Chain A
Amino acid sequence: MYDNPLTKRDAVTKEVKISARGCQVYYGDTHAIKDVDVDIEDKTVTAFIGPSGCGKSTFLRCLNRMNDTIDVCRVEGDIRLDGEDIYDPKVDPVQLRAKVGMVFQKPNPFPKSIYDNVAYGPKIHGMSRNKAELDEIVERALRRGAIWDEVKDRLDAPGTGLSGGQQQRLCIARAVATEPEVLLMDEPCSALDPIATAQVEELIDELREQYSVVIVTHSMQQAARVSQKTAFFHLGNLVEYGETGQIFTNPQDPRTESYITGRIG
């Protein structure tokens, strides 16, 4: 009867894809992330939730070294992708970001054609030998982005001419074109209508078969719908990390409970 209760949903032990230990982030004097330890599993959607300024986006950006581009930002501690330290001086951040792709809050297609938007990454990483191979990569990525049918007849049209939802799916297609192993999504649906949001959520669920997906979201319902694991951040601390079903039915920390139920506390 209780073979697979919701609270234990997808609780099979999975391999750890990214592990962070003692992660600290400072913006100048501000201590933005305080000693975060977390294991992000492979082929799992992990949601980061928490109030604005709690550090969830900052932490997400540590996972593919996007914080390197901010001068005052300093990251300490140990973050490993498949056991390798991503902050090792020998690691090329560009190569790292090919493995750990990212989708941002606002759809940001390049001011180029739909085709070139997706082909850009595979081209600079030398993933194809000829036009035919590149065409194949682009089609596969657009299909995986669940937007192929809508754009296949106008691949030369500018990516910026698509609707917001289509642009976001184009950006997801662009992110998956380089065959990443991890996909980071920073509020991918906050600028989208409910239909486009549902399409992106369906896509996230499909992507889970191949990738580890980490999504930052302000929508608690979205976190509950798409993720298997949820991490709650508060004032730079990782307060609670567990199965999504458990976090939303029976959180263990009162700060988590207050936040997800919309209480002052």
Chain B
Amino acid sequence: MKATVFSLFTLCLMVQSIMIGQTKDMVLIEGSRYIPLYGRDSTVVEVKDFKMDIYPVTTAEYIQFVETHPKWRKSKVISLFADKSYLADWKMDLKIRDSISEKNPITYVSWFAAKAYCECQGKRLPTVDEWEYVAMADETTKDARVKPDYNQQILAWYEAPRTKENKVGQTKKNAWGVYDLHGLVWEWTLDFNSVLITGESRKDVDKDSNLFCGSAAVNATDLMNYAAFMRYAIRGSLKAKYSMKNLGFRCVQDLKEQR
């Protein structure tokens, strides 16, 4: 058993060294303090500097991953780590259906799978705070949340059907140089369920209900919260083993100095 773990670990390292070129597809995100959209009025969070993938992980990249990591193949995956929908649009272990393209973002992956993918490259999933921080940007401004256009565009995507079928990198690059945070697929975050289960923001709200009916309105003091609440809602509806058609992921990496 130990040996397997060890060999897996070395495999990860090897793959990491092979894929070191990958970092060229990342950009530096300078950290800062900000009030997240979904937060309570006075909760400021701090985001440290980190690097983020400029594109979501593509189907082609994920095929490479399962080639080198058989335990994440469709037929081998442990049901505890991925539900029945895992890679539902793949024909076989290493073969996707003709209806999808290798340049599509990978979807139908569970949180466990996404997490493993990132870790095997020396990366990790972004936290909700990190993800939201980068996603505040539009093409020109790093915090575009006050612009009405910004929210309208995001909402328009939430309503637009079948965007999953688009290729990565077709939306406009945001001010950080990152693509597709809005307009393509939802993305896993490391702590996607933390806001629902624990945390400051919940202390004086009834346990499960802050997404529903009346309680959803308590925090929704401005219009921009509409877009945020929808992301909040989708994260809240997930479990780590879920695999969904419209849910993909991207990875981030801590800066070496900070480790």
A binds B: no
